[in-house]
Amino acid sequence: MPPIIVHHSLGSYPVHVVPGLLHSLQDLVVQALPERKLVLITDDMVDLQYADWTGKGSLTFEPDLKLTFLAGEASKTRGTWATLTDRMLAAGFGRDSAIIALGGGVVGDLAGFVAATYLRGIPFVQVPTTLLAMLDASVGGKVGVDTPQGKNLIGAFHPPVLVAADPLTLLSLPERDYHGGMAEAVKHGLIADAEYFAWIEEHAQELAARDVPALTHLVRRSVEIKAEVVEGDEKEEGRRAILNVGHTIAHAIEQVSGYAVPHGEAVAIGMVAECRIAEVTVGLATGSANRVSALLTRLGLPTRLTHPLPVTGLLEAIQHDKKNRAGVIRLALPSAIGAMHTGDGRWTVATDSARIVAVLG
């Protein structure tokens, strides 16, 4: 199965999506990064799987150094970044080294930020092991950490040299993590491909059952969509904002809940809420939000908050969103299933806080 090629200003990188790919990871990495000292960065939960994969022979990758941190969004901080960086410095790794990020979105963002900043930048490889990371976080080159003021406010654009996604790793994901990744697939159909959205509706049962051929198609098509958007706006100055559908509200929910609401579930809730706003502001057909909600429900995702969160806290978090301009909240909103409102060329729409409060209520 040929890789998907993602182009960026400094060149391009392949995204391999192949069941059983972990068997050939060592060869892929050595080919992409010859004569490099390799640092594997993962979290403590994926590390347990790493030991199992190597023991069964499905993964033969042997790094020069392995670094782990506590799993979860709460670890995606400047403090963890400093600890990982200091350990590499103490071990004497130089500019002839490279980083392998093995895990979900938190691992990829954090390890990628270490790579972007270590000795002013070293190459890294993304090996996503969650659905959310395969579909979205591993592609596009955005890396970074969270702060008390919000998610991903400190970071860089640092594309990987290679993405290696093995859909078989998704078979061992906990149910909640697996279902959470589906929110990004639905988002990709919503923003760019009505036929893909309809395909997900048609194959929802197979996807829920983790059918490997269906999953492989899902990951590949989502990667293709994200690659097309990213290539046209590498530094997030225009159309790339459409990838943030649902995320303005989602990031606020994550932050205010203390990350008790996982990213995928927050995106599902945020996507439905922002579709409801789109129905009354940019002409999204009435009933579209319900259609999105029905699909997300079939895929095992919530579509509204099950426990109330303080509205003032949510609005304060939304005020710190990166898409805002001059203190005005701006949302990326769909104009139809498979199409986005251009927002007079900005790809975002000014939205008053009262509408947000209304849909969250």
Residue 251 is a catalytic residue: yes
Is residue 66 annotated as a catalytic residue, yes or no?
Answer: no
107 contact partners, CB below 8 Å, separation of at least 6: 41, 42, 43, 46, 101, 133
The residue annotated as part of the active site, out of 201, 206, 228, 236, is 236
Identified catalytic residue from 76, 158, 240, 330: 240
- Closest to 65 in 3D by CA, of 111, 117, 120, 113: 111
What number of residues does the chain have?
361
Q: In 3-state terms, what secondary structure has residue 286?
A: coil
Q: Which residues contact 232 (CB under 8 A, 6 or more apart)?
A: 238, 239, 240
The active-site residue out of 16, 36, 76, 142 is 142
Is residue 325 within 8 Å of residue 343, measured between CB atoms?
no
User: Is 120 known to be catalytic?
Assistant: yes
Catalytic, out of 247, 276, 323, 330: 247
Catalytic-labelled residue, pool 16, 36, 158, 184: 184
Q: How far is CA 93 from CA 80, 115, 298, in A?
A: 18, 12, 48
What CA–CA distance (Å, rounded) separates 271 from 83?
35
The values of phi and psi at residue 198, to 5°, are -65, -35
Catalytic residue status for 320: no
Residue 97: count other Cβ atoms within 10 Å of its Cβ: 22
Tokens 């790493």 map to which residue?
50
Closest residue by Cα to residue 319 from 239, 248, 242: 248
Amino acid sitting at position 149 = Q
Query: Which residue bears the tokens 């690659």?
Result: 227
Active-site residue (options: 221, 226, 276, 330) = 226
Active-site option among 158, 217, 263, 341: 263
Does residue 152 carry a catalytic annotation? no
What's the DSSP call for residue 134? I
**Which of the residues 244, 265, 279, 341 is marked catalytic?**
244
* 240 carries an active-site annotation: yes
Task: Say which of 35, 56, 120, 307 is annotated catalytic.
Answer: 120
Active-site entry in 16, 187, 251, 341? 251
CA angle (248, 216, 137) in 5-degree steps: 30
Could you give the residue numbers annotated as active site?
A: 120, 142, 184, 226, 236, 240, 244, 247, 251, 263
